[in-house]
Amino acid sequence: GDQVEQSPSALSLHEGTDSALRCNFTTTMRSVQWFRQNSRGSLISLFYLASGTKENGRLKSAFDSKERRYSTLHIRDAQLEDSGTYFCAAANTGNYKYVFGAGTRLKVIA
């Protein structure tokens, strides 16, 4: 079946540092969406990409437009409030089902 492999599963960053999360897809995907899950469980949409890159403040996301087999989420100058669990979800080209990655638990420390 479709698989979304998200890495790393957990990440600890010092304030002010940069890092990147990645999702690899075992099949070609049409689009990808990145979320942060807040403490109440709600998903906050960060980016939706059908191709290329998008940037919002300290966050930047890219979706491999050629092979459509991976996406990245870059966090620049990490802040304490960036802590949380991040998920990617990708839509299969054929059936459009949205499949979630396993999530990345990010902890930013002072």
Partner 1 sequence: GALVYQYPRRTICKSGTSMRMECQAVGFQATSVAWYRQSPQKTFELIALSTVNSAIKYEQNFTQEKFPISHPNLSFSSMTVLNAYLEDRGLYLCGAREQLNTEVFFGKGTRLTVV
Give the residues lining the site for partner 1 (CB under 8 A). 30-31, 33, 35, 40-43, 45, 48, 50, 87, 89, 91, 96-103
Smaller CB separation from partner 1, 37 or 83: 37
Name the minimum Å distance from CB 101 to partner 1: 7
Q: How far, in Å, CA of 7 to CA of 80, rounded?
A: 20
Name the minimum Å distance from CB 14 to partner 1: 26
68-94: string of b/e by CB count within 10 Å (b at 16+)?
bebbbbbbeebeeebbbbbbbbbbbee
CA 106 from chain centre, in angstroms, equals 11
Smaller CB separation from partner 1, 73 or 91: 91
Name the minimum Å distance from CB 70 to partner 1: 18
CA 45 from chain centre, in angstroms, equals 10
